Amino acid sequence: MIVYGTVIGLVALSAFALFSTGLRNFKQANPQSVTALKADSGLDTNNKINLFLSNFVGAYFNKGLDNSNQDALIPFYGGELLDVKNPQTNKGAYELVSSTLLEIKDKVGSYAVTYRVKTSEGDSWHEVSTIFNIPFGEKSGKYYVSDLPFVTQTESLQANKIKQNKLDEMTSIYDEAWQTKANNFVSAFFTAYTSDDNTLATMSKGIRGITGYKFKSLDYSYYTLNQSETKLTAEIQVTFEDNFAMTHSEDFTLELTKKEDMLFVSKLYHGIKASDSKKDRG
């Protein structure tokens, strides 16, 4: 009887030990599974953004010779086209070759894009590669393109962090006489931005231009001064033209330092402040 009771006791102790070990293992494994679910959830969000932006890239870089792709872009802009002051009707054709996601950061998706251009029916296809950047927003669980896309140089993507809308409070609209002078300076700046690094360096600090495009027109400008009247902020829309006469518009915000009668670009941001999106830009 004593032996029999001892055996039962050992079996019971063994079972309890196994149960305790299993309970500890379950408690240790459970937090890991929660962490994995959170990671999967974040990855799913990035996949959704990438899917949306990749579809936009496909719509943007595919059009025939005689037709516009604007109707295909409207759903991506939330139902209406963005405010383009100098709408261009590109007669040429685009055909997307490839697009690769580089990064999604600060509500901007950056893609390495290669596409082909044909300017007329008898023309051959010409291949172009660029970094295509798409500002986006999210509302009620749906994504939309929030500002005009812009291009950057391949090597400048990591070196120059994309910044948006971090501006000091401005207190007054700049006077009309200075607006003409400022417009002339901004036009000269974007001419250098697309053509001459040496000239660009004399007009700005740490700003890298783009190649494969030329400045075509200044389509919109709005200037404000800070309280000390030493810094001028310029909200700008310009049109660029590539080597095949295909055009596109981009929005910029420039911070200009003012010293006597001279202007200098201290900072460049892609896009225009969200708070000014409803401002009359006529």
Residue-wise pLDDT for 43-92, tens only, equals 467 889 999 999 999 999 998 877 677 788 888 987 666 777 776 667 78
pLDDT band at residue 141 under the 50/70/90 scheme: confident
The more confident residue out of 262 and 136 is 136
Query: Which residue carries 């580089």 as its tokens?
Result: 102
Which domains can be identified in the chain, with CATH numbers? 1-160 (3.10.450), 172-276 (3.10.450.540)
Helix extents (H) in the chain: 2-60, 70-73, 176-193, 197-203
Please state the rounded mean pLDDT for residues 248-277: 84
Please state the rounded mean pLDDT for residues 124-139: 92
pLDDT of residue 154: 64
- CA nearest neighbour of 178 among 251, 239, 256, 252: 256
Q: What is the pTM of this model?
A: 0.71
The more confident residue out of 53 and 170 is 53
Please state the rounded mean pLDDT for residues 111-126: 88
Task: Supply the DSSP symbol for 62.
Answer: -
pLDDT of residue 231: 85
Residues 85 and 179: their CA atoms lie apart, in Å, by 18
Residues 131 and 146: their CA atoms lie apart, in Å, by 18
Three-state DSSP state, 230: coil
Please state the rounded mean pLDDT for residues 152-157: 63
Residue-wise pLDDT for 87-105, tens only, equals 666 778 889 999 999 999 9
Region for 124 from its dihedrals, namely left if φ exceeds 0, alpha if ψ lies in -120 to 50, beta otherwise: beta
pLDDT of residue 180: 87
Residues 261 and 162: their CA atoms lie apart, in Å, by 30
> What burial letters (b/e) apply to 202-223, b meaning 16+ CB within 10 Å?
ebbeebbbbeebebbbbbbbbb
pLDDT at residue 29 is higher than 50: no
Mean pLDDT rounded to a whole number for the chain: 76
pLDDT of residue 187: 97
Residues 238 and 275: their CA atoms lie apart, in Å, by 20
Residues 250 and 130: their CA atoms lie apart, in Å, by 15
